Amino acid sequence: MIKHLAIIFIVILSAKISCAQDSLQKDIPVHDPVMIRQNGTYYLFATGRGISTWSSKDMKDWKKEKPVFSSPPEWAMKEVPGFKGHIWAPDISFFQGRHYLYYSISTFGKNRSCIGLVTNATLDPDSPEFKWTDHGKVIESVTGRDEWNAIDPNFILDENQKPWLSFGSFWNGLKLVRLTDDATAVETNPQQWHNIASVPRTPPANGAIEAPFVFQKGKYYYLFASYDLCCKGENSTYKMRVGRSEKLTGPYLDKDNIPMTKGGGTLLLQGDANWHGVGHNSVYTFDDTDYLIFHGYDAKDKGRSKLRVEKLDWDEQNWPHIKINN
């Protein structure tokens, strides 16, 4: 009897282990990925219905988690005509003891857009403290009033540990704005807005720049941005460029000292035979190693968008570069 029970226990345990392994995925389908680590677990957020969420212990095998929003934010449904719950381009940070997740509300090709904010004390869904609190709209752009687009947020602290938000897509480029000390709204005393990057709004570029991400290393702030066209599968031409500045507010210059506000930007990575396009990156340091997190359109899988994680190195002049293992 004991022998039979032992066999049954082993079979059940093996089945549970197999199910757990089956729930983990590689080559996960994402757009606009951002990442953070809490208590040894990596959490990834990406564009998707309700904001797609994944977790991993090694940045290789990923478990699908419940989305941040179970239903579309009511305020967003009222503010942006045509929005139906597909939330774009989140950005995750840990600030003042909480996790801050900014997110984009918009519809394709229009600049009636909003950036919202939701916070949580923990990212562990099994914790009793796990609860997302939505703070609603932080920044908005209005068609006919603004020649910029309030999507693709990225949170960054300046040298005085004051919060700022970079953002922007197409139109007249990328912006940087000072936030209130609690980072829930635009600071108005005084307002501080800066243009940090743009490209000509004429063919072939046609203003195609978006997804700013500012990463501080040493004495420089590095501005990463995505150029050309995303979201077209096999026809995607997405690529990443970078500039740097000793001041958060810029000017950001590329290797040839061309300002990113004048179309500059040193090429970091573009598509090739294996990936049709690559972009919308974020940058993090884990265990003294810098990582470039982004999505690419997989040529081996009909141009579907996949997560890419690559180590980021720096040359003797402190410019970033990556080693790709296809």
Active site residues: 32, 210
Which H or E run contains 4? helix 2-22
Task: Report how far residue 160's alpha carbon sits from residue 47's, in angstroms, rounded to the nearest whole number.
Answer: 31
- Residue 136: which of 79, 89, 65, 176 has the closest Cα? 79
With beta carbons less than 8 A apart as the criterion, state whether 76 and 114 touch: yes
- Residue 2 carries which side chain, given as an amino acid letter? I
Burial class (CB in 10 A: 0-12, 13-18, 19+), 62: buried
- Residue 147 carries which side chain, given as an amino acid letter? E
Partners of residue 32 on adjacent β-strands: none
Token pair 């994402």 in the structure block, residue: 30
Task: Report how far residue 227's alpha carbon sits from residue 265's, in angstroms, rounded to the nearest whole number.
Answer: 9
Strands lying side by side in the sheet with 220-227: 209-217, 220-227, 239-245, 266-270
